[in-house]
């Protein structure tokens, strides 16, 4: 369909005319007819004027649908990659940098390139195009790197441009180069930078790490074969030190400097003999030699050597006394003596077998040392007897040491009193309570002939206060001052019957060589509850305020009882329903509540008392009155004159009616104070009111 205009041929004899759809001037244009089967005719007229025609058919084919989706930007240094954006598959890619279906940004070069994708189908082909942007790389540079010595301080790398990139390579971490980590030799340092378009570039430089000279000297002539650089001839304070040059880089060393550490003139020379370099120390104590060696590559190495001139140190650590029978937590203090002649640099180390870390002092030490004990010596090893602690002092310097030890030290733990109560600490009169020892055992470390032994036995006794109102059913309270004889000790469990209500205090006292520990607990013995109360009024008119005074025996219980108050309408009056409420801030659980009763009737006030032993109720009644209700009986009408006998129905509303007052205006008599007033006469016609008032 996209072949364009096609010149028609094949018609014979030549010279005729082609006709049909899409035909013009002997050419056929498939774009005019579109796809499908087309029929083209050919007509010819000969010289005699005779005409004939022929026709032929052919298909105009539809083009394949080819698409090429957009390409993502790529960096110039991106590796060649397979193109895959064209659909349907099976076509051919072409354009700058394209070869065998792969695109190489480096071949195409930076810039925007037009790539094509072509595909054939049934002899027809179509092509699609899309652009790809090859991004340029940032220009990156790195200055040359100077040589460094192996012992140089780690330093931040610099010289990479543009700023903001990253350094990498052997010995590099977070932009810091560590010569000692990299090691002697030549190392490649790379600087990488990412530009604003997301493309990265890098450049590398070599850095050389130079070896450092070996700064080593040795002493093979000091008085102690295993303690070089040590003079131990005090009180002769002169110490003539002879050192040998033991450097492994003598052939490349170009200068030696020795600071002897005593303020004297330093040794300085481009060479140092293998043996026989001497220095005389005239003072005592520690001195620090600083040896500096320079190599021919300009690198410098230092080493320090400690020199001591003195004598073996004495120390005093006398037994302080009273070191046995200590009850933790406690401490002992030991004097530190006989150290005044020791030289500076002497260390004093105090060790122990109680699990605490060693304590180290430098000369001069304090005059005393205090050690705090928080654990029992039971089970301790390493002392002069089982189950004892020790404190050992060692004074030490390069010339020797002295040891002193304080022992035996024994520490014990006091027991901790505790006991349980069963079934409860609140019971009813004539109930039993079991008291069971649950104390934490102490530990006594005591001397048994020649060795110290561990004894977890504790003496126990019980006390109950007050001493009346109870009886011991089983067990023994024990002697108030028990001896080591177990028969004087109290039982581990005692059973006590309490026959009188009230509070009782139970004490258990447990002791060992560290003394007694006492625990006291309270128990409460309560009686059966007896509910009772008084009301300040039991009769009155609405609204009636009633105050209840609780007089129950449980008010004096050592554990408060629970109270529940209620009011119920027993007998209604005048048709009123029950209406009452708690007032004055009281509620159903108050000890002494107040009520307001708002409707008449007979009410029952009840109290239920609940304690450990029982639940008992008590009640009382209240008669609450309202003004009486009166309903007058109907009176018929009369002609001319009338004689009536009026009557009424009365409800006293829980009260007693005390007076009646009838009114007969215009009648005779005009009034009556009787419940039934009798006959009343009216002489003339008219409308008259009859009234009745009742009072309770």
Residues 530-556 have pLDDT tens digits of 999 999 999 999 999 999 999 999 999
* pLDDT at residue 223, rounded to an integer: 67
**Ramachandran angles phi, psi of 469, nearest 5°:** 90, 10
Cα(514)–Cα(411) distance, integer angstroms: 10
* pLDDT at residue 30, rounded to an integer: 86
Contacts of 359 (CB under 8 A, 6+ apart): 349, 350, 369
Multiple choice CATH, 217-309, 2.60.40.10, 2.40.128.110, 1.10.10.10, 3.20.190.10: 2.60.40.10
Q: pLDDT category, 353, cuts 50, 70, 90?
A: very high
Confirm if 478 and 486 have CB atoms less than 8 A apart. no
User: What's the distance, CA 194 to chain centroid?
Assistant: 42
Q: Where are the domains of the chain?
A: 6-60, 67-135, 141-210, 217-309, 326-412, 419-526, 533-625, 629-695
**Closest among 452, 443, 449 to 416, alpha carbons compared:** 443
Question: Can you give the C-alpha Rg of the chain in angstroms?
Answer: 61
Q: pLDDT category, 337, cuts 50, 70, 90?
A: very high
Query: What fold characterizes domain 141-210?
Result: Immunoglobulin-like (2.60.40)
Residues 68-84 have pLDDT tens digits of 999 999 999 999 999 99
Q: Record the tokens describing residue 683, joined without a space.
A: 């002489």
Q: Which helix (H) or strand (E) holds 135?
A: strand 124-135
Residue 588 CB neighbour total at 10 angstroms: 12
Confirm if 44 and 15 have CB atoms less than 8 A apart. yes
Query: Would the pLDDT of 47 be above 90?
Result: no
Q: Half-sphere exposure (CA, 13 Å, Cβ side) for 307?
A: 29
Same fold for the pair 67-135 and 326-412? yes
Residues 121-170 have pLDDT tens digits of 777 888 999 999 999 999 999 999 999 999 999 999 999 999 999 999 99
Multiple choice CATH, 67-135, 1.20.120, 2.60.40, 1.10.10, 2.40.230: 2.60.40
**Ramachandran angles phi, psi of 171, nearest 5°:** 85, 5
Average pLDDT rounded to a whole number, residues 636-659: 92
Query: Would the pLDDT of 669 be above 90?
Result: yes
Q: What is the DSSP string of 221-273?
A: -SSSTTSTTEE--TTS--EEEEEEE--TTGGGEEEEEEE-SSSSPPEEES---
Tell me the average pLDDT of the chain: 94
**Closest among 9, 10, 6 to 22, alpha carbons compared:** 6
Residues 426-478 have pLDDT tens digits of 999 999 999 999 999 999 999 998 899 999 999 999 999 999 999 999 999 99
Query: What fold characterizes domain 326-412?
Result: Immunoglobulin-like (2.60.40)
* pLDDT at residue 49, rounded to an integer: 87
Number of helical (H) and strand (E) elements in the chain, helices listed first: 3, 65
* pLDDT at residue 132, rounded to an integer: 95
Q: Does the domain formed by 419-526 have CATH 1.10.1040.10? A: no
Residues 207-230 have pLDDT tens digits of 999 999 999 999 988 767 678 999
Residues 173-208 have pLDDT tens digits of 999 999 999 999 999 999 999 999 999 999 999 999
Cα(406)–Cα(410) distance, integer angstroms: 11
Decide which of 562 and 15 is more confident: 562
Query: Would the pLDDT of 40 be above 80?
Result: yes
Cα(185)–Cα(190) distance, integer angstroms: 16
**Closest among 67, 104, 106 to 83, alpha carbons compared:** 104
Average pLDDT rounded to a whole number, residues 339-366: 95
Query: Would the pLDDT of 691 be above 90?
Result: yes
Average pLDDT rounded to a whole number, residues 37-60: 89
Q: pLDDT category, 37, cuts 50, 70, 90?
A: confident
Give the max Cα distance, the chain: 170
Query: What fold characterizes domain 533-625?
Result: Immunoglobulin-like (2.60.40)
């Amino acid at each position: 369909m996209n072949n364009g205009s096609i010149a028609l041929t094949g018609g014979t004899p030549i010279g005729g005319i082609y006709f049909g759809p899409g035909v013009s001037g002997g050419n056929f244009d498939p774009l005019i007819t579109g796809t499908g089967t087309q029929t083209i005719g050919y007509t010819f007229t000969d010289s005699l004027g005779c005409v004939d025609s022929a026709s032929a058919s052919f298909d105009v084919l539809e083009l394949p649908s080819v698409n090429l989706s957009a390409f993502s930007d790529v960096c110039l240094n991106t590796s060649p990659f397979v193109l895959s954006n064209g659909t349907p598959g099976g076509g051919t890619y072409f354009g700058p940098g394209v070869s065998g279906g792969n695109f190489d940004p480096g071949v195409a070069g930076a810039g925007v390139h037009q790539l094509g994708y072509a595909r054939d189908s049934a002899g027809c082909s179509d092509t699609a195009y899309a652009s790809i942007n090859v991004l340029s790389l940032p220009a990156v540079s790195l200055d040359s790197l100077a040589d460094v010595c192996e012992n140089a301080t780690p330093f931040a790398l610099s010289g990479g441009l543009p700023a903001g990139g990253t350094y990498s390579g052997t010995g590099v971490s977070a932009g810091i180069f560590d010569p000692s980590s990299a090691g002697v030799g030549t190392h490649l340092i790379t600087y990488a930078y990412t530009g604003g378009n997301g493309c990265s570039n890098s450049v590398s430089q070599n850095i050389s790490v130079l070896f450092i000279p070996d700064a080593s000297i040795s002493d093979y002539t000091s008085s102690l074969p295993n303690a070089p650089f040590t003079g131990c001839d005090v009180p002769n304070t002169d110490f003539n030190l002879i050192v040998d040059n033991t450097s492994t880089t003598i052939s490349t060393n170009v200068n030696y400097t020795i600071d002897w550490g005593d303020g004297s003139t330093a040794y300085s020379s481009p060479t140092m003999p293998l043996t026989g370099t001497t220095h005389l120390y005239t003072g005592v104590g520690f001195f620090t030699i600083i040896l500096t060696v320079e190599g021919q590559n300009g690198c410098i190495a230092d080493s320090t050597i400690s020199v001591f001139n003195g004598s073996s140190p004495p120390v005093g650590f006398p037994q302080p006394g009273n070191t046995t029978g200590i009850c933790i937590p406690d401490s002992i203090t030991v004097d530190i003596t006989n150290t005044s002649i020791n030289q500076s640099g002497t260390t004093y180390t105090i060790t122990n077998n109680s699990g605490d870390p060693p304590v180290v002092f430098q000369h001069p030490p304090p005059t005393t040392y205090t050690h705090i004990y928080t654990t029992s010596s039971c089970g301790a090893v390493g002392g002069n007897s089982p189950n004892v602690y020790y404190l050992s002092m060692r004074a030490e310097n390069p010339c020797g040491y002295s040891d002193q030890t304080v022992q035996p030290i024994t520490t014990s733990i006091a027991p901790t009193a505790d006991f349980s109560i069963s079934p409860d600490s609140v019971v009813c009169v004539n109930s039993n309570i079991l008291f069971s020892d649950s104390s934490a055992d102490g530990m006594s470390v005591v001397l048994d002939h020649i060795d110290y032994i561990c004894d977890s036995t504790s003496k126990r006794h019980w006390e109950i206060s007050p001493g009346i109102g109870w009886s011991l059913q089983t067990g023994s309270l024990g002697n108030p001052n028990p001896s080591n004889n177990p028969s004087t000790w109290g039982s581990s469990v005692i059973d006590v019957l309490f026959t009188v209500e009230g509070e009782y205090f139970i004490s258990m006292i447990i002791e060992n060589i560290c003394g007694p520990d006492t625990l006291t607990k309270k128990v409460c013995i309560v009686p059966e509850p007896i509910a009772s109360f008084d009301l300040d009024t039991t009769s009155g008119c609405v609204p009636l305020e009633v105050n209840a005074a609780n007089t129950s025996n449980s008010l004096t219980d050592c554990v408060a009882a629970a109270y529940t108050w209620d009011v119920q309408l027993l007998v209604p009056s005048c048709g009123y329903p029950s209406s009452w409420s708690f007032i004055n801030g009281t509620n159903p659980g108050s000890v002494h509540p107040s009520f307001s009763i708002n409707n008449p009737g007979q009410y029952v006030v009840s109290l239920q008392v609940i304690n450990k032993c029982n639940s008992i109720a008590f009640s009382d009644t209240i008669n609450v009155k309202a003004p009486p209700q009166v309903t007058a009986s109907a009176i018929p009408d009369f002609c001319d004159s009338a004689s009536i006998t009026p009557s009424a129905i009365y409800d006293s509303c829980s009260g007693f009616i005390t007076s009646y007052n009838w009114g007969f205006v215009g009648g005779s008599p005009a009034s009556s104070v009787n419940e039934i007033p009798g006959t009343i006469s009216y002489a003339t016609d008219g409308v008259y009111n009859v009234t009745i008032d009742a009072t309770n």
